[in-house]
């Protein structure tokens, strides 16, 4: 459900992120472990295609270890932080990788959160009315 709330008027995510969600289809969502070390659903972008979705040989080895997986995940987190900081410094959006779920295929407009909630409530009540 989080993806739907990124594409709301109240969310302060960059407009590029909201646009990517509006344009994406369910089949554009891929799982990658290259960003955090654990599977993460993201919108397929040229960056995601370039880096791949699987950890490299060294990363895979470390991610299998009981203790070393924490070190590898920490490395991924630090790297992601620095990449985000650099994108902000340059004044750009983070066009490299946008987290989103498969529900993107159902999102076709940026709406106020109240409208989103009203839609969820109506969908919940609809089966009971039948």
* Pair 33, 40: CB distance under 8 Å: yes
User: pLDDT tens for residues 8-63?
Assistant: 999 998 898 999 999 999 999 999 888 777 888 999 988 888 878 888 888 888 88
pLDDT of residue 63: 86
Q: How confident is the model at residue 129 (pLDDT cuts 50, 70, 90)?
A: low
Give the DSSP letter of residue 40.
Answer: E
- SS3 call for 82: helix
pLDDT of residue 97: 77
Q: Give the C-alpha distances (Å, rounded to integers) separating 8 from 25, 95, 109, 122.
A: 18, 19, 8, 18
- Is pLDDT above 90 for 96? no
Instruction: Tell me the C-alpha distance between 44 and 49, whole Å.
Output: 7
Q: What is the DSSP string of 2-26?
A: HHHHHTBTT--S-HHHHHHHHH--G
Q: How confident is the model at residue 93 (pLDDT cuts 50, 70, 90)?
A: low
Share of the chain above pLDDT 90, in %: 42
Instruction: Tell me the C-alpha distance between 64 and 72, whole Å.
Output: 10
Instruction: Tell me the C-alpha distance between 30 and 52, whole Å.
Output: 10
Q: Domain boundaries in the chain? A: 2-129
- SS3 call for 93: coil
pLDDT of residue 95: 62
- Is pLDDT above 70 for 92? no
């Amino acid at each position: 459900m989080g993806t739907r709330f990124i594409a709301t008027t109240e969310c302060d995510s960059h407009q590029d992120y909201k646009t990517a969600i509006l344009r994406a289809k369910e089949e554009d969502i891929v799982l990658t472990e290259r960003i955090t070390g654990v599977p993460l659903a993201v919108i397929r972008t040229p960056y995601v295609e370039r880096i791949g979705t699987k950890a490299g040989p060294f990363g895979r080895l470390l991610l299998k270890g009981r203790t070393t997986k924490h070190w590898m995940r920490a490395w991924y987190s630090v790297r992601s932080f620095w990449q985000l900081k650099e994108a902000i410094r340059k004044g750009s959006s983070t066009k490299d990788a946008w987290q989103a779920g498969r529900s993107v295929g159902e999102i076709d407009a940026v709406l106020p959160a109240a409208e989103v909630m009203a839609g969820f409530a109506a969908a919940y009540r609809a089966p009971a009315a039948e």
